[in-house]
């Protein structure tokens, strides 16, 4: 793929991925066929900032886990009242990384 297109994608979507994954993503995108550009350009990613806000406000109900697509963990968190509060605290620190990992997994399905 054209490196200019790839750089444009990285510039607008870089914040959705882990910093150490960005270079890897860039290399993979450059090697990718041009026909997949349409799919990649229209992909929607979850914002880590939104998930941390939801986690702070409704973490004990597991809403943050539902949002990023971990339904099983979300139900577990909901039924245990956020793991009696402990899990909710852990997730304040984990959720941003987890969101970025999910975005990376989503992109990898196309790559």
Partner 1 sequence: MIITKSFVYEPGEHEAEKASNSYLMSLIALIAGLPLPIVNLFATLFFYIGNRKGSFFVRWHCTQALLSQLSMLIMNSFGFWWTISIIFTEETLSNRFIAYIITVFLFNLTEFIATIYTAINTRKGLHVEWWFYGNLTNLICKD
- Quote the CA–CA distance of 111 and 105 in Å, as a whole number: 10
| Tokens found for residue 29 | 């995108």
Point out which span in 26-34, 36-44, 56-64, 91-99 binds partner 1 (CB under 8 A).
Answer: 91-99
Do 1 and 34 touch, CB atoms closer than 8 A? Answer: yes
Q: Is 18 in the site for partner 1 (CB under 8 A)?
A: yes
Q: Which of 55, 59, 64, 87 lies at the binding interface for partner 1 (CB under 8 A)?
A: 87
3 token code pair = 């490196």
How many binding residues for partner 1 (CB under 8 A)? 14
89 binds partner 1 (CB under 8 A): yes
């Amino acid at each position: 793929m054209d490196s200019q297109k790839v750089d444009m994608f990285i510039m607008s979507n870089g914040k959705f991925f882990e910093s150490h994954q960005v270079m890897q993503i860039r290399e993979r995108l450059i090697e990718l066929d041009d026909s997949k550009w349409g799919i990649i350009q229209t992909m929607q990613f979850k914002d880590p900032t939104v998930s941390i806000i939801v986690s702070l406000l409704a973490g004990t109900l597991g809403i943050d886990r539902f949002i990023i697509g971990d339904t099983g963990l979300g139900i577990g968190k909901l039924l245990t009242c956020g793991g009696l509060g402990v899990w909710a605290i852990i997730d304040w620190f984990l959720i941003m990384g987890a969101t970025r990992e999910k975005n990376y997994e989503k992109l990898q399905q196309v790559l």
